[in-house]
A and B are shown apart, each in its own frame.
Chain A
């Protein structure tokens, strides 16, 4: 794994979808009036006959996707995550999840990565999609995983919700890294017992990696787990990772109600005799707007510092927690807040 600041890529998803569609004629691209924002202007140019723009009508778009899937097509449906899930929830449940159809719901702009206010922030999308039987819920951490995950989800049975960052996508992983939807990935394993296990998904993986560095530098054994498939969650890897730890901290760009933290809590509670858990994420609030997403990550407790503090306090270490010094960022690079 690289270290921040990370170089960024544009349209890794849109490029990968076009590549896959060249090989697979069953793939259709559906858009809800957010074509460029969801990187599928590339698909529209490459395969105009297989591109369907449903306009601002998500309920109908999801219902059409269900009909197309019943007739042998694999619709990839694109809009912002908040509209793909909350806006059309009953349609996703009844037209896609219940009949277990191979529709891929691709929701951009997760959590507080948008300063557009609660109407545009997908802060409960993971919780909503996790609650649906048959649904696989995927979130990836960087451009390398984004590029790979498109082909990976195409081969999964049933419906998939794929949660993607919009815009400049950082490169955390080199090309030899493989995204894994069957297993949670232990990116760094503490070499000594005790300490903390950080379990992160999506945009919070970069923050968790930075927190991992700070904690290790200050003598805290730290394990870092990257979760790509939030559902079904790989319980075995998580239980193995926490076996010798004193604390678990989850990190998600999402509400702590029903998301990654809740999923990990389910696993830990059912296993019993596991370390205490702290959840980094939106603490059951709607996030007010701001000029930049970075300010929202700070204001709502989603920064690297918040992760370090949660680990430090959770382990009962003496205050103050170590200070996080963010790396310098240019317009061409990305670093977590």
Chain B
């Protein structure tokens, strides 16, 4: 287990988070709208995970909500797993980089557009690793909206019962879904206690604080149970140029806002 990291040690995570925001803004700017809010809320989560924990080609990475796949494309380029030029095809006709993740999505081992399905696939990966007797880990990224889907809890039940300690869930709690803030539609709290009641360890942290995220993932990986890191986040985080009332699920990015956002990010 790593010791609580110094600021310098976390710089790669911060840089990756910044790159996720900038590359995502550029991808979405070409279309004028898209899943930018997902990248803004999860940038630090993916930054810490990819910079410090996930070992590509060895550990399994699941991005359950395919709307976050834009983060994988950005990470893929940053880690040299895919060609930078491919990002220009994001969401275009005939591209393998679809706006909602598909079977052609690079970088990840599994992504799902139909929400609430990814954790079950991740449980399958973790079971396979156990059957293989390999120390391969499974990192499953899921969203708070997916807690409305019953299948998420079916998977949580199974993983808790079988003590699948090779499974770590990163849960982006951005309180955003298509029809508005999640808490105005259904109550999903208390998130951490719900997971604990299923036999999981749960760590509830500020999802834009890389130090807090690092410490939580460290504990989650070390846990003898399956564990979830709940990252409390905002879909507008990190770009002041966005209107405060922007729809975080599907952000509109007209040219003047896009230019301002990208200029702002490039200035950091």
Q: How many inter-chain residue pairs (CB < 8 Å) link A and B?
A: 88
Q: How far is the CA of A63 from the CA of B118 in the complex (A)?
A: 8
Cβ distance B67 to chain A, nearest Cβ, rounded Å:
15
**Given A60-B154, A94-B112, residue A73 in contact with residue B131 (CB < 8 A):** yes
Contact with A along B125-139 (1 / 0, CB 8 A): 101110110000000
Q: Do A64 and B117 contact each other (CB < 8 Å), given the known contacts A59-B150, A59-B154, A71-B132?
A: no
**Minimum distance in angstroms from B71 CB to a CB of chain A:** 20
B106 at the interface (CB under 8 A from A): no
Q: Judging by beta carbons under 8 Å apart, are B131 and A63 in contact?
A: no
B224 at the interface (CB under 8 A from A): no
When C-beta atoms are compared, the residue in chain A nearest to B151 turns out to be A59
Q: Which residue of the partner chain B has the closest CB to A56? A: B154
Greatest chain B CB density within 10 A among A61, A64, A68, A91 is at A64
- Tell me the B142-169 residues at the A interface (CB within 8 Å): 150-151, 154-155, 157-158
Verify B117–A91 contact, CB threshold 8 A.
yes
Which residue of the partner chain B has the closest CB to A52? Answer: B127
User: Is A286 at the interface (CB under 8 A from chain B)?
Assistant: no
Proximity string of chain A (49-65) to chain B, C-beta cutoff 8 Å, 1 when within and 0 when not: 11010110101111111
Query: Chain B nearest CB: distance from A99 CB in Å?
Result: 5
For chain A, give the interface size range: 20 to 34
Chain A CB count within 10 A is highest, among B109, B112, B150, for: B112
Out of B121, B132, B158, which one reaches A54, CB within 8 Å?
B158
Residues of chain A with a CB closer than 8 A to B125's CB = 67, 70-71
Q: Contacts A90-B114, A94-B112 known; A60 to B158 CB distance under 8 Å? A: yes
List 10 A-B pairs, minimum CB-CB distance, nearest first: A67-B124, A63-B120, A71-B128, A60-B154, A57-B154, A64-B124, A67-B121, A59-B151, A68-B124, A60-B120
Identify the A interface with B (CB < 8 A). 28, 49-50, 52, 54-55, 57, 59-73, 90-91, 94-95, 98-99
26 contacts between A and B (CB under 8 A): A49-B131, A50-B131, A55-B158, A57-B151, A57-B154, A59-B151, A60-B120, A60-B123, A60-B155, A63-B151, A64-B120, A66-B110, A67-B120, A67-B124, A68-B124, A69-B124, A70-B109, A70-B110, A71-B124, A71-B132, A91-B120, A94-B112, A94-B113, A95-B112, A95-B121, A99-B103
